[in-house]
Structure 1
Amino acid sequence: MQIDNFNQIHNLIKADDSEFLYEAQIIRRGKDHPELPAANQLIKTLCIHGKEDLLKHYDEIVKLCEMFGARAYFSLQRKSNKKCIENAIKCYADRLYIGDTKRPEAIWWHAVGTTVPEKKLWVIDVDSKDLDLVSKIISYIEKQQPFKNPVGVVPTLNGFHIISHPFNCSNFSNDISGDVEIKKHGLTLLYM
């Protein structure tokens, strides 16, 4: 089953801005490929610098997904290039200090992954096609943070990802039942 969320993601990200980046990852999942030696296999990670840059990578992402039977995921956590570079410099210095010079190319992606985003967004993973459940979750979130509504809803293979600003989730599991998980550093489905 093909799911193409490029338009939904395009509408959720900021206009082109060379000072910030988003991360896209193409991943072969163990769920889809039980023969994999690990749970997941990372095929490629991309830095995306806004709406137009996302569209420029469309063909590449689709081809890689189809070639490897992979899924493309997108982080809506916008990060400052400057902070990512500062974090990378620190990571490189730390590695040199301890004498670890293996896989220097991985340091950049580690730095990007550990850089604090400009604004945090959560992914509420709903493994159900039940639209009443999605509406109930959105209402719950809106009650917790009346001035910051959920950002968007993205379809997935088994349900939906609700993209939301952080909210008080202390009673979430008591008030919301079903196959639902809050992912505070989650990626949402871009393409599969």
Structure 2
Amino acid sequence: MRILKYALLGLIEKEEITGYDISNQFKREIGEFWSAKHSQIYPELKKLTAEGLIEYRTLITGTKLEKKVYCITQKGKQELLNWLTQPKPLPETEKDEFMLMMYFSAAISMEERKRLLQDQITKRNAKLEMLLSNQHLLELANDNIKSPDSWQFGHYLVLSRAINREQSYVKWLEDTLQLLV
């Protein structure tokens, strides 16, 4: 299944958008739970256009710079709606290289394990602070962010989940570090 297809349809459903702006969304909001590279996005936009799910108009900015602004078609809206309303199976186990390292950590010294755990605590706390800051900014910009009718409600939900995930991970890291004391 082409999940990227639905991410792009969802972004284009929210607003008419350029490929460049879509790439930026994957670096910001969407990047909190899904990733896609520039090299994946543009071929998928081409496929969606060929399938009649999106269309674009070309804008000229400056003297010669062309950019495509994508919008969703009625067929694309129906495709997105069909995907959004179908129950999904549980995802496969997420790949986590650090967990794999911890699984085999008996092969390294206790001090090295502590160093690795502390490094992860530092990085996860930094990520948590960034997520909390993003949540605060989102709440400031949107009075009705917790309203299910708001276009930003989905972003709020995903951001809340990302915060919960990082808080849980940090707690597990700290608990694990205490086991090594």
TM-score > 0.5, shorter chain as reference: no
Which has the larger share of helix?
Answer: 2
Q: Structure 2-normalised TM-score?
A: 0.23
Structure possessing the higher radius of gyration over alpha carbons: 2
Which has the larger share of strand?
Answer: 1
Q: Which structure is richer in relative contact order (CA contacts within 8 A, separation 6 or more)?
A: 1
Q: Structure 1-normalised TM-score?
A: 0.22
